[in-house]
Amino acid sequence: MKKLSIFFVLLVSLALFLTSCAAKPDQETTLLTENVQNQSLIAEGSLQPINSLAHSFSVSGQVAEVVVKNGDVVKPSDVLVRLKDSSAAELGLENAQAEALAAQQAYDQLASSKDLTLALAELNLAIAQKDYDKIRWNQISEDKARETNPDVINAARAAVTIAEDKVKTAEEKYNDFSETPDSDPLKAAALSTLSNAKLNLVQAKLNLNNYINPPNTQDLSISNAEVAVAKAKFEDAQRQLEKLQNGSDSNELQMAKARLDSANAAVANAQSQMDALTLTANVAGTVVDLTLQPGQEVAAGEIAVIIADYSNWIVKTDNLTETEVTSITNGQKANVILDALPEKILEGEVTYINSLFEEKRGDITYTVTILLTQTDPLMRWGMTGAVEFLK
């Protein structure tokens, strides 16, 4: 409370000095009493930069390089300190990257193969449907002639007539050699011509009969069987395509995708292990309290570097009691006198009143933050002083 007494004496002295010239001697006691009664709320506070952050490694290791020094201004992601590379971490990253590459290639191959398989299935379905439609269209009906086109039937009848005439002509020529021995080449040629003419006649009659007569039982069985086979092929092609489209046979592709995801996660983890060997800035500010040097062993979690933002200064006071804090509001003006700079009155305003209480020496207290609107180049982190909350 010594600081508060000094601040109070300064305020009283200042008030007496300001009124001594205008006030009469018999008014001094009255003015002093009024100043004491109307004094502002005063509390002790500590000077701090507006923001600061302690940086530490997440892994233990030996310092390889200290990139910055105390007083350097850094921005986020700037490198601060590097640890020596770990051969195990490097090997782990290389292995993870190799596995990720292999997994990616396997997945790409399966994915492209699936696209090709799907395209082939669509083609097979189109062909099967075309064949099925064609066979159904050409299917023989039990109660209908095989051919209803009169031109085709007339042509078949004419072929029979022509064939019969050729047989008759061949028989007459062959009969001319009736007395000739069978070894006679001319007789043999006539016999050959006659035999071929008879065969052609038989085929012409079969063709005509096939056109003008309804199908027999055998023909119907063959036709129905052909339709059934074509239909089965069409339905099978349809099922195969639907199976591919629904992804019901994509277990292999899913397994390949799972392998790829796992490999990528392993790469990310291995990369984070490598990244952990480099300490970078997470905030902008000035490097302070840096004592590391190459060769030094650093433990995980041990504070390595502190970065402070000196662009603005705040004063925090944590000794306002529950009865005093109720008179403080955000935006309220305040004056600060630092013990190290007693001749300077620094202006500021309240920016935050902590809702969480602390218990100190039997009192319930709250922390209040004052943002200084005036600064001094001689100000240093941690300086103490008195805060006057203006009414």
User: What is the b/e burial string over 341-378, where b = at least 16 CB atoms within 10 angstroms of the residue's CB?
Assistant: beeeebebebeebeeeeeeeeeeebbbbbbebeeeeee
Residue 277 lies in a domain: no
pLDDT, position 148: 63
Query: DSSP letters along 206-222, please?
Result: HHHHHHHS---HHHHHH
Stated as kind and residue range, the H or E segment containing 388 is strand 384-389
pLDDT, position 216: 62
Task: List C-alpha distances in Å: 370 to 42, 196, 312, 341, 346.
Answer: 13, 124, 11, 18, 11
pLDDT, position 211: 75
Task: List C-alpha distances in Å: 251 to 215, 243, 247, 256.
Answer: 51, 12, 8, 9
Q: Within the chain, which residues score under 70 in pLDDT?
A: 1-39, 86, 113-117, 137-148, 214-223, 247-250
Report DSSP state, residue 23.
Answer: S
- Tell whether 139 and 239 lie within a shared domain: yes
List of residues 6+ apart from 12 with CB closer than 8 A: 32, 35, 36
- Cα distance between residue 125 and residue 137, in whole Å: 18
Residue 95 lies in a domain: no
User: Tokens in use for 19?
Assistant: 């009124």
Residue 225 lies in a domain: yes
| Residue 204, domain extent | 112-246
- Count of domains in the chain? 3
Residue 272 lies in a domain: no
- Tell whether 155 and 240 lie within a shared domain: yes
Closest CA to 388 of 351, 354, 350: 350
- Cα distance between residue 370 and residue 354, in whole Å: 12
Residue 256 lies in a domain: no
- Tell whether 170 and 59 lie within a shared domain: no
pLDDT, position 140: 55
Residue 274 lies in a domain: no
Residue 259 lies in a domain: no
Longest dimension (CA), the chain: 184
Spell out the long-range contacts of 331-335 with Cβ–Cβ below 8 A and sequence spacing 24 or more.
Answer: 332/389, 332/390, 333/389, 333/390, 334/370, 334/387, 334/388, 334/389, 334/390, 335/387, 335/388, 335/390
pTM above 0.85, yes or no: no
Instruction: For residue 365, give the CATH number of its domain.
Output: 2.40.30.170
- Tell whether 290 and 314 lie within a shared domain: yes
- Cα distance between residue 74 and residue 290, in whole Å: 13
- Cα distance between residue 4 and residue 316, in whole Å: 15
- Tell whether 202 and 77 lie within a shared domain: no
- Tell whether 218 and 299 lie within a shared domain: no
| Residue 40: Cβ within 10 Å count | 14
- Tell whether 123 and 240 lie within a shared domain: yes
- Tell whether 305 and 202 lie within a shared domain: no
Residue 268 lies in a domain: no
